[in-house]
Amino acid sequence: MFQIYLQWMTTVTDRFQTGVSLHSHTLHSRENLEFIYRAIAKVPLFAAALRRGERHYQRVNGTALDLTRGWWTPPLGAHDAWSVEKAQIEDLGLSPMVSLTDHDDIEAPVSLQLLDECRGTPISLEWTVPFRSTFFHIGVHNLPPASARPIFRELERYTQQPNERRLRELMAALHTLAGTLIVFNHPFWDEKGIGQTAHQEAVREFMQLCGSQIHALELNGLRPWRENHKIVAFAGEIGKPVIAGGDRHAI
């Protein structure tokens, strides 16, 4: 297997000159803690420990512990995160391009514009898109620097006040931007927990509404291969390319 991998890597580095990093996070991303409930519920020992912690919190504070109101941030600042991704591409002998995509935030790539070595870094984000009974994450890469903040404010406004008519308008506007890449990140990940069948149905409805403005579906580095394999099949069904996203949150 390792020999096959080396042969594949040699083929890649012979055929291409540039490697692109899509989908990684800095300390500007706020990661909700709600996932802890779903993860721990599957492990009885941890679930019991969480219930004890909830009872203790209730006694001490007089209110219920609600992790859905909590969040954590990845550890790396903008330049450190950019350097990690850049170095991994250079290790392959390729010229690097790094697109950082924090959750609903563009401060990391904007701040990098001030550094000579990072000038020209795409201004990108992972946009949270509430849709029907679930939500999706859309990678929006390479916003025009002169209008990035006004565009971002419009995307942020939709996240706070969803409206399907406005969603169609925003997606169409993003699609018209020259050089902007729009990627449907980990589309089959049921982050809201509504059930896989309901979530995938919402994905199909979203693609019927906005699919012409989606440039690619993501194969996500943190999701199980079984889920990614379904995305490959779905992409073939609807005639969309697939594109890799690492989704790095740590070091």
More confident residue, 158 or 193: 158
Region 220-227: what's the mean pLDDT? 95
Region 208-223: what's the mean pLDDT? 97
| Predicted confidence band of residue 37 (pLDDT cuts 50, 70, 90) | confident
Region 211-227: what's the mean pLDDT? 96
Region 112-124: what's the mean pLDDT? 95
Q: Which residues pair with 219 in a beta bridge?
A: 244
Cα–Cα distance for residue pair 148/124, rounded to 1 Å: 9
| Predicted confidence band of residue 51 (pLDDT cuts 50, 70, 90) | confident
Cα–Cα distance for residue pair 85/90, rounded to 1 Å: 9
| Predicted confidence band of residue 251 (pLDDT cuts 50, 70, 90) | confident
- Asked if residue 133 and residue 59 are part of one domain, the reply reads no
Specify if 251 maps to a domain. no
- Asked if residue 203 and residue 152 are part of one domain, the reply reads yes
- Convert the pLDDT of each residue in 122-136 to its tens digit: 999 999 999 999 999
Residue in this structure with the two tokens 């009974």, named with its chain if needed: 133
- Asked if residue 209 and residue 94 are part of one domain, the reply reads yes
Counted domains in the chain: 2
Q: CATH number of the domain at 115, please.
A: 3.20.20.140
- Asked if residue 165 and residue 45 are part of one domain, the reply reads no
Q: Please tell me the pTM assigned to this model.
A: 0.89
Of the chain, the percentage scoring pLDDT greater than 70 comes to: 95
pLDDT of residue 215 exceeding 80: yes
- Asked if residue 112 and residue 23 are part of one domain, the reply reads yes
- Asked if residue 177 and residue 97 are part of one domain, the reply reads yes
- Asked if residue 54 and residue 83 are part of one domain, the reply reads no
DSSP string, 37-101: HHHHTT-HHHHHHHHHHHHHHHHHHSS---GGG-EE--S--HHHHHHHHHHHHHTTT-EEEEE--
Nearest to 218 by CA among 104, 141, 148, 110: 141
- Asked if residue 137 and residue 26 are part of one domain, the reply reads yes
Count of beta carbons in the 10 Å neighbourhood of residue 22: 24
CB-based contacts of 157, cutoff 8 Å, min separation 6: none
Specify if 250 maps to a domain. no
pLDDT of residue 9 exceeding 80: no
Region 177-189: what's the mean pLDDT? 97
Q: Which residues pair with 128 in a beta bridge?
A: 137
Cα–Cα distance for residue pair 31/125, rounded to 1 Å: 14
- Convert the pLDDT of each residue in 234-249 to its tens digit: 999 999 999 999 999 9
pLDDT of residue 5 exceeding 70: no
More confident residue, 21 or 69: 21
> What is residue 10's predicted lDDT score, i.e. its pLDDT?
67
- Asked if residue 229 and residue 107 are part of one domain, the reply reads yes
- Asked if residue 46 and residue 6 are part of one domain, the reply reads no
Region 81-108: what's the mean pLDDT? 96
Cα–Cα distance for residue pair 39/15, rounded to 1 Å: 41
> 1: which DSSP letter?
-
Instruction: Give the Å distances, CA to CA, from 49 to 42, 54, 55, 62.
Output: 13, 9, 10, 19
- Asked if residue 133 and residue 54 are part of one domain, the reply reads no
Instruction: Give the Å distances, CA to CA, from 79 to 27, 88, 93.
Output: 11, 14, 21
Specify if 39 maps to a domain. yes
Q: Residue 92, CB half-sphere, CA atoms under 13 Å: how many?
A: 25
Contact 137, 124 (CB under 8 A): no
pLDDT of residue 4 exceeding 70: no
Beta strands in 120-190 (DSSP E): 123-131, 134-143, 181-185
Structure tokens at 177: 């931007």
Structure tokens at 189: 């990940």
Residue 194 domain boundaries: 2-30+73-245
- Asked if residue 150 and residue 49 are part of one domain, the reply reads no
pLDDT of residue 2 exceeding 70: no
